[in-house]
Chains A and B, each alone.
Chain A
Amino acid sequence: MTEPALEHGALVYGGLAEYLAALVPFLREGVEAGDAVFAVAPAARLEALREALGRAGDRITYLEAEAFYRCPAQTLRDYDRLVRAHAPRRVRVAGERPWPAEEPWARAAEWTRCESLINTVFARSGARAMCAYDRDAVNARVLREARRAHLWVIDGGAPEDVAASGADRRPSPLDVDRLPFESAFELYQVRRFVTARASRHGLDAARLAALETAVTEVATNALKHGAAPREVRVWSHGEEFLCEVGDHGRWRPGAPTGLLPPGSALDSGFGLWTVRLLVDAVRVHADRAGTRVRLVMRR
């Protein structure tokens, strides 16, 4: 079995309520799991977190961001100390660097690079990290870099902000076949629904079976972790057959994305990882309206 991988994600938020809605459950989960939990943020944010976390917050170490994020090399050294000092306990960090509006890009770039370095330095640490970005204060270039450097991005904004690239634009409703489902006993119908249409699109037997496995897993996740109403939507786009499972739950911060190879079938994230192996592409979108997992299969 491999060593546990780092799960390093980003939160893009607007306003304190959104900030707390993502970070409080993330930190509380760490306390409940017995992690060594740290919150690094500007002083005003720390105060709000402490208040919102209540008793659970007593077991969290709060660090002021102004002191912690002085220079990237020091910050990396300090994170390294935290991980080593608490091993074999897992470290969980919610971090937020203040991004001064007047900061020149050259200086900001040192810190966006630092985010990428974290992925390398702590790759096998098993740590859970969430970096918060204030949408109203951080400039667009920094946000773009942040999306690249993190394994997952939670964006509380409106859906149109999330569907960034052309390929991810929503299809016109007329082209889409949809099937609502609300129980595990309907997974069987979900499979029939998807394979009938994928077969008409021209997928061969092996790829049909792979898609059938993938959509069942994603729909099962929507039942376990998502919220009603749930539905599966399918449509074609040129060579591509697209199959999207949507629900109205919010993507749990820190939930595995399935990008990193798990140690065994017992690890959380094994299912989604298997899905990524079976289909041509998986795109996860999470926003205030819910969670959408899109599976792409080419003919």
Chain B
Amino acid sequence: MTDWHAIITYWAVITLLVFGLYIVTASSNLVKKIIGLNIFQAAVFVMYISMAKILNGTAPIITDKINEFSAYSNPLPHVLILTAIVVGVSTTALGLALIVRIKQSYNTIEETEIRQQEQTEKE
């Protein structure tokens, strides 16, 4: 096992991730679920970026002054997360559009009330 302060960033990420997961699963409001999903997503992004970091390193932009730093941080996770952020926003937009339509159809965005309406519909 490594030193505790060496993995404390990962624990912080995991805490955020657990909060996001709890908001997604526990809240019955659909907009709040989307907000929770965003929290979850950003926590995963922070985890990827923290893997790429080198202490005393610098951003992966080629300079002549590299001797002042120990190394460039790893650019590959940065690229992946750049893509993931944009894709995450498009899924958020799609989910929110669905919510607007649900509101127009059922006149509520609470999951429990929608279920009640469906129940009464069947009976």
> Are both chains from one complex?
no
